[in-house]
Amino acid sequence: MYAILDIETTGGQYNQEGITEIAIYRFDGQNVLDQFISLVNPEREIQNFVVKLTGINQKMLHTAPKFYEIAKRIVEITEDCILVAHNADFDYRILRTEFRRLGFNYQRSSICTVELAKQFFPDSKSYSLGKLVRSLGIPVSDRHRANGDALATLELFKLFLAKDTSKQIITQWVKQDINPSISTRFLHILDDLPTQMGVYYMYNQEGKLLYIGRNKNIKKRVNQHFTSVQKKDLYLQKHTYKVVFELTGNELIAQLKELQEIQLNKPTLNGKRLFRPLSYGLFVKKNKKGYLTLNILPLQHNASHWLSFETLAEGKNTLYELTEQHTLCTKLTGFSSAPHNCYNYTMNKCKGACIDIENLQEYNARVEEALQQYSFKGKTIAILDKGRTLGEKSVILIENGIFLGYGFTNLNFQVSRLNILKNIITQMNDNDKIQHLIQQYLRKHKKPTIISF
């Protein structure tokens, strides 16, 4: 038996949200047997961006039932059911949070239709509910309202069940709330942890910081610490008393925070994993004929270089990518030792710098363009990426090539004004490792937006 669920919330800080609307369809795999749809008075403010998104405002909820008035009905309609939701971790967390405020431990197994969509439609351009169902020809109305989204999720789930000829949904995709082997003394810790990207801090009873980590699913990662038999994790199981966290919205800010927090706090169990030295650099020089050449070489003290790398392979891969993207000559980037023209020239991927037939200034201009692709030298930019909540953006600020820090904003005008950004960011120290992490992230991820000042 399944309970197809969708919840709308007030927005706000993690675990401080309240439910504004809920829709549940009890489904036996063939037919809907029961349904429950209701607005809910959250007894807290609704964020402005949520009002614009859902159309649900404070006035609409004035006479709506409070959660404690509908809690029994929710328990009954979901009894002996597997919860099914689009991004199930979110809906289930919100539901558990509301019940926990009433002193009730609400637990159900769950299935996430986002994960099923990735399994059944791996080439889909988007897994957001609206775009996904439209691409599949499933009608949807009242988007961002609980009933409309729950009905769309129901039709989507019916499609997955029909496609699931090997019955993997039940055998592989049902998520149990807590590992049954975990010690009960850790359950209260896990209850308060998010299933989102961020940095977590593990303390002993005396308040000493034992370990700092990051993960795209904090709850899952801490759960692994509590069930692993590795030496470090056994120590954490014995000594951990409290776990706190900070959501970051994306991997890059999580990496930057983790690095700086470990450098500043030196937790007991964090080794030198994050402090692998930057051993290689991208060096530029002119050959005898004036063409700019690029090479990956070991770093030397105070030697001027454009980019830094932990390994030779990382440096070579980046240089090869730049060579391909900017039609550079493989002889002048160290990938060919042919006596005459390079192989790329015969494939029309090189314009002949290797045999002196390409204009010197034109070739060097392309090299300069390649160097600017990932370097921050002299640049003042803001790197925008996903924030911690819907409608929020993260900002990483670099001024004149120096990393200043990071912040979060919901307002578009803030990201276009440098003086405002400098006021809202959390300042951090700049160093080669920080620059390397940002450059590495930009090489791997194409989603961030970059604004130049």
pLDDT tens, 45-74? 999 989 999 999 999 999 999 999 999 999
What is the average pLDDT across 335-341?
85
Phi, psi at 60, each rounded to 5°: -65, -25
The answer, yes or no, to whether residue 272 has pLDDT greater than 70, is no
Compute the chain's Rg from CA coordinates. 27
Mean pLDDT of the chain: 89
The answer, yes or no, to whether residue 402 has pLDDT greater than 70, is yes
The answer, yes or no, to whether residue 343 has pLDDT greater than 90, is no
Place of tokens 């005459």: 340
- Confidence bin at 437 (pLDDT 50/70/90): very high
Place of tokens 């597997």: 82
Cα gap 14→90, rounded to integer Å: 11
The answer, yes or no, to whether residue 275 has pLDDT greater than 70, is no
Specify the pLDDT at position 147: 95
β partners of residue 292 = 286
Q: Kindly give the residue spans of alpha helices, DSSP state H, lying in 136-250.
A: 146-163, 168-172, 187-191, 218-227, 231-239
- Confidence bin at 12 (pLDDT 50/70/90): confident
Q: Which pairing describes strands 381-386 and 292-298: parallel, antiparallel, or unpaired?
A: unpaired
The answer, yes or no, to whether residue 11 has pLDDT greater than 80, is yes
What is the average pLDDT across 329-334?
91
Q: pLDDT digits over 344-362, tens only?
A: 888 888 888 888 889 999 9
The answer, yes or no, to whether residue 365 has pLDDT greater than 90, is yes
Q: pLDDT digits over 139-196, tens only?
A: 888 888 999 999 999 999 999 998 887 778 877 778 766 555 566 778 778 888 888 8
- Confidence bin at 338 (pLDDT 50/70/90): confident
Specify the pLDDT at position 76: 96
Give the CA dihedral 438, 314, 281, 401, nearest 10 degrees: -10
The answer, yes or no, to whether residue 8 has pLDDT greater than 60, is yes
For 227, residues 6+ apart whose C-beta sits below 8 A from its C-beta are 179, 181, 182, 233
For 203, residues 6+ apart whose C-beta sits below 8 A from its C-beta are 209, 210, 240, 241, 242, 243, 244
Q: How large a percentage of the chain has pLDDT more than 70? A: 96
Which of 21-25, 136-140, 215-219 is least confident? Answer: 136-140
The answer, yes or no, to whether residue 213 has pLDDT greater than 90, is yes
Which of 109-113, 369-373, 445-449 is least confident? Answer: 445-449
Say how many C-beta atoms besides its own lie within 10 A of residue 208's C-beta. Answer: 11
Specify the pLDDT at position 13: 84
Burial of 206 (0-12, 13-18, 19+ CB in 10 A): exposed
Specify the pLDDT at position 355: 87
Specify the pLDDT at position 190: 87
Specify the pLDDT at position 448: 80
Say how many C-beta atoms besides its own lie within 10 A of residue 344's C-beta. Answer: 22
- Residue 310 near residue 317 (C-beta atoms within 8 A): no
Of 5, 250, 1, the C-alpha closest to 113 is 5
Specify the pLDDT at position 179: 55
The answer, yes or no, to whether residue 90 has pLDDT greater than 70, is yes
What is the average pLDDT across 17-44?
95
- Confidence bin at 283 (pLDDT 50/70/90): very high
* Strand, coil or helix: 326: coil
The answer, yes or no, to whether residue 250 has pLDDT greater than 60, is yes
Q: Kindly give the residue spans of alpha helices, DSSP state H, lying in 34-112.
A: 48-54, 67-77, 88-101
What is the enclosing helix (H) or strand (E) of 119? helix 113-120
- Confidence bin at 302 (pLDDT 50/70/90): low
